[in-house]
Amino acid sequence: MASPKKPTRRSERALAFQVLYGLAFSPTATRTEVIRLFNEAPAQMAERETPDQPAVEADRPPAAKGRKKPAEPAPPAAPVAPPEGFAWELVEGVWERQQEIDALLAKHSQNWRVERMGKVEVTLLRLALFELSFRPDIPARVTINEAIELSKQFGDEGSRAFVNGILDAVSKELEKKTTGEP
């Protein structure tokens, strides 16, 4: 029997982006809520979906749409164990260090306030800035390339240049700090 394929880092980054993008619209203050949102992310749902049990309302047959299910008693709340894997490490890291990351982003985004940037771009930048700043095991050029690839997937034509410009500036600054250059 073949073992299940391990997700690629690119797919893990895409999942992290989706979760963080959702948090940009409805920020949460609790780790438990972030875990719940992570577990409900689209890619996570696709893994759990079965052919006879669609995950979304739009996938239901027309006759079933709009019908309410009978109320079911809520199960007792169980302690929520944190997920594992690279995507979760990214989501958790960005969520925990968002203020630091946003300060770094604001410092390098000349003439742009963070709150005025598009949510796609801010989310991509937060994800990449977390990797650049807090994941020394990932080469800067890999982080920048992956952010550009995600911007092609989720952003518009202007996203790539904007994301690349800011990440390049941050990368150069961080490199100077590690080498001790003025």
The pLDDT assigned to 92 comes to 96
Q: Say how far residue 108 (Cα) sits from the centre of its chain.
A: 21
Q: Is residue 62 part of a domain?
A: no
- The position carrying tokens 């594992």 is 84
The pLDDT assigned to 77 comes to 52
Q: Is residue 162 part of a domain?
A: yes
Of residues 75 and 124, more confidently modeled: 124
The pLDDT assigned to 128 comes to 97
Q: Is residue 76 part of a domain?
A: no
Q: Is residue 77 part of a domain?
A: no
The pLDDT assigned to 113 comes to 82
Q: What is the mean pLDDT of residues 120-148?
A: 96
The pLDDT assigned to 115 comes to 81
Q: Count of domains in the chain?
A: 1
The pLDDT assigned to 170 comes to 94
Quick one: pLDDT band at residue 87, thresholds 50, 70, 90?
A: very high
Quick one: pLDDT band at residue 177, thresholds 50, 70, 90?
A: confident
Find the domain containing 15 and state its range.
9-49+83-179
Span 34-86, pLDDT tens digits:
999 999 886 454 553 334 433 333 333 344 445 455 555 545 455 567 789 99
pLDDT at 175 over 50: yes
pLDDT at 123 over 80: yes
Could you tell me the CATH number of the domain that includes residue 145? 1.10.940.10
Q: Is residue 58 part of a domain?
A: no
Which amino acid does the sequence have at 89?
A: E
Q: Is residue 151 part of a domain?
A: yes
DSSP letters for 80-113: PPPP-SHHHHHHHHHHHTHHHHHHHHHHHSTT--
The pLDDT assigned to 120 comes to 94
The pLDDT assigned to 45 comes to 45
The pLDDT assigned to 78 comes to 56
The pLDDT assigned to 61 comes to 38
What does the DSSP 8-state code read for residue 114? G
The pLDDT assigned to 47 comes to 54
For residues 150 and 90, is the Cβ–Cβ distance under 8 A?
Answer: no
